[in-house]
Structure 1
Amino acid sequence: MIARGYQSVGRVDPNVAATVANAWAAGMSRVDVYHFPCFTCGNPAGQANALFTYLKDNDVKYGKVWLDVEGPGTYWGSSTSDNAAFIADWFAAMKEKGVDIGVQFRPRQVTCRGRGHHRLPAIQAPRKSWGSCPTSSRAAM
């Protein structure tokens, strides 16, 4: 089970502690949390730290934090390099805290790069239409 820990509107999900506790109480063998970032809010490290601090302060027991990267044009900027930098900053902040992290990703839609750069566990989102990327952006992350 993967519970939402951070909302795309730029805040920690106020229900995450209860959701995770209920999942464990229901007998789930693994409970993870996902972070749906707010690109337009900026400060990816601040967002990562807000989630980490909330989980720690509320004694939330979880396995991995997944970064949920989806919705190009809706949740992300038009600059694939800015999107990639945001994602990299989020990863760095979580790694600094020692958090086990992974990514749920439609990589080419948001960054025009593959998912291999971060060498993290990944859940590949269903491939609808990833669109096209400029030839110069097609190098692997």
Structure 2
Amino acid sequence: MLFILAAIVLTAHAASYGVDIAESISTSSIKCLRDLGFNSFFIFRAWRSLGSFDPNAKSINENALAAGFSAKHIDAYFYPCFSCGDPAGQVKSFWNQVTSKKLKFERLWFDIEGTWSSSKSSNRKFFESLTNEAAAIGIKSGIYASYYNWEDIVGLDYKFSRAGSWPIWYPHYDGKKTFSDFKSFGGWTSPYMKQYNGDMTACSHDVDYNYRP
């Protein structure tokens, strides 16, 4: 009986849970989320789809650290602005802000969704410029995208050259903490993280729920 209970506990602790957020949040609210079990990692928006640095990024980052997350367990995400152009410039501007504001996080996720152009060729060039600049700077990065967004934006025949070293975080709001639903795309055969519920209200904030095994 003790062995069975121990196995259950180990299984429960083997998985990691966290939220991502795109709005300002206090230290106490982040602690509230931790108390709900989302205590393995925390992800905040740092670059907005308007093509600018998120003005709340610094305070959210500081509050996450104050709530008990180490920088190693905090990630940020970058929502590029296609219509703004100059993808490399967006990354440079972002990194200048990160450096000047002394943000502390582990990985940057490039959010590949939303409105791009109708030309997959143009979209690919934008994506490559974006990711090439991040690689040149030395930013530890990953990609957030769904199978269907990837298909619509760059096409399923497009394989990301860095898929082997940049992990994929994908959304599928089925409420299931498993990767059994993942469909290979873009050069990725297995995911790193899943966003399994979106637009959830927790601790009075709009957050998404994420799972890592």
Interval containing the TM-score (normalised by the shorter chain): 0.7 to 0.9
Q: Which residue of 2 aligns with 1:59?
A: 102
For 2:125 and 2:112, the matched residues in 1 are separated by 13
Alpha-carbon RMSD across the aligned residues, in angstroms, is: 2.1
Cα 1:140–1:59 change in 2 (3 A) is closer
Q: Which residue of 1 aligns with 2:167?
A: 121
Out of 100, 124, 131, the position equivalent to 1:91 is 131
The Cα of 1:125 is off from its aligned counterpart by 2.5
Does residue 79 (structure 1) correspond to residue 119 (structure 2)? The answer is: yes
Cα 1:52–1:2 change in 2 (3 A) is same
**Unpaired segments ≥5 residues, structure 1:** 128-138
Q: % of aligned pairs identical?
A: 30
TM-score (norm 2): 0.56
- Moved segments of 4+, more than 6 Å: none
**Unpaired segments ≥5 residues, structure 2:** 1-41, 174-184, 188-213
Letter in 2 for 1:83: N
The Cα of 1:109 is off from its aligned counterpart by 2.1
The Cα of 1:60 is off from its aligned counterpart by 0.5
User: Which digits, 9 at most, give the CA deviation of each residue in 1:15-50, with x for residues without a partner?
Assistant: 101111111111124111100000000000000011
User: Which digits, 9 at most, give the CA deviation of each residue in 1:49-107, with x for residues without a partner?
Assistant: 11111001111111011000112xxx211111111111111111111111100010132
**Where does 1:1-141 land on structure 2 (aligned, <5 Å)?**
1-29=42-70, 30-71=73-114, 75-106=115-146, 107-113=150-156, 116-119=160-163, 120-126=166-172
For 1:103 and 1:140, the matched residues in 2 are separated by 10
Matched length: 128
Cα 1:26–1:101 change in 2 (3 A) is same
- Bigger Rg over Cα: 2
User: Which digits, 9 at most, give the CA deviation of each residue in 1:99-125, with x for residues without a partner?
Assistant: 100010132121113565322111123
Cα 1:76–1:67 change in 2 (3 A) is same
TM-score (norm 1): 0.83
- SS, match of residue 124 in structure 2: helix
For 1:31 and 1:115, the matched residues in 2 are separated by 28
